[in-house]
Amino acid sequence: MRANTLKVAVAEHRPIINGWLAIPSSYSAEILGHQGYDAVTVDLQHGMIDFASALTMLQALSATPAVPLVRVADDTPARIMQLLDAGAYGVICPMISTAEQAQRFVSACRYPPQGTRSFGPARGLLYGGADYPQHANHEILTLAMIETREGLANIEHILAVDGLDGVFIGPNDLSLTLTGTASAESTHPNMLSAIERVLSCCRNKQKIAGIFCTSGAAAAQRIAAGFNFVTPANDVMQLGRASREAIALARAQDIPTTGASGY
Ligand code: 3PY
Ligand code: MG
């Protein structure tokens, strides 16, 4: 089976830089996949992406060096299994609040006896190779999103779930619940201590510590703080920013920091 290079990067203590796709386009997926990201995630939660689009985006990513990942809309096992069959090499699952929920998520990603994934690997075979069924349980990456108050409280139990590779902080949702305001770079003391807690638990259990960021500079700061899986903004944010910069340069004006998309 094609090795999951993200697992190799983690073993070698190299941080993973993960692109993020919210626009339903195989062309966008292909472009991002060729930019040097270690992984690119197709976002079926807040992205404008249905299964049919996700399939073509995973196909496009297959022709690039980036490892194809998905963020699912929720922890429904059937949908997780279908996206793995479509060739996702890893799943990011939002709003994980308890160890039981994390267990159900991981189980959907693992064939028996370790889990309950139904057999029908489909594109998994085309992308991964003929021996995909024998190795998929080891190669498929599983990241539980920590972005609820309960998830933060249960972080140690969640990280103890066998087969879970790590966690990915959703800083907007987490800050919304902890401070009343959604902000990916919040410096509210409650957020700072929440992030420190997640980082130290991941360090202790040697699990992946991931987080969504709003820029490359913000991602660099997160890596310096100890995160080893960062997303330096999504396609919408990057497209908006690049457009504002081009317009401002053409008009010889200052570049506005935020645009209509809110970033
Ligand atoms: C969050 O910040 O809540 C996210 O889910 C990032 O995508
Ligand atoms: Mg979120």
Would you state the structure tokens that stand for residue 240, as one six-digit string? 């908006």
Ligand 1 touching residue 151 (CB < 6 A)? no
Closest CA to 48 of 72, 19, 22: 22
- Residue by residue, DSSP assigns the chain as ----HHHHHHHTTPPEEEEEE-S--HHHHHHHHTTT-SEEEEESSSSS--HHHHHHHHHHHHTSSSEEEEE-SS--HHHHHHHHHTT-SEEEES---SHHHHHHHHHHTS-TTT--PPS--THHHHHH-TTHHHHHHHHSEEEEEE-SHHHHHTHHHHHTSTT--EEEE-HHHHHHHHHSS--TT---HHHHHHHHHHHHHHHHHT-EEEEEESSHHHHHHHHHHT-SEEEE--HHHHHHHHHHHHHHHHTT-PPPS--TT--
Catalytic residue from among 46, 135, 138, 188 = 46
For position 258, what pLDDT does the model report?
A: 75
Could you tell me if 6 and 67 are in contact, meaning their C-beta atoms sit under 8 angstroms apart?
yes
Top mutation candidate among 70, 173, 227 for ligand 1, by most atoms within 8 Å of CB: 173
Q: Residue 174 CA: which ligand 1 atom is closest? A: 3
Task: State the closest ligand 1 atom to the C-alpha of 94, by its place in the atom list counted from 1.
Answer: 5
In this prediction, the residues of the chain whose per-residue pLDDT falls under 70 are 259-263
pLDDT at 260: 63
Q: What is the pTM of this model?
A: 0.97
At position 137, the amino acid (one-letter code) is: N
Contacts of residue 116, defined as CB under 8 A and 6 or more positions apart, other chains included, come to 77, 107, 108, 110
Q: How far is the CA of 119 from the centre of ligand 1 (A)?
A: 31
Q: Whose CA is nearest to atom 5 of ligand 1?
A: 170
Give the pLDDT of residue 153.
Answer: 98
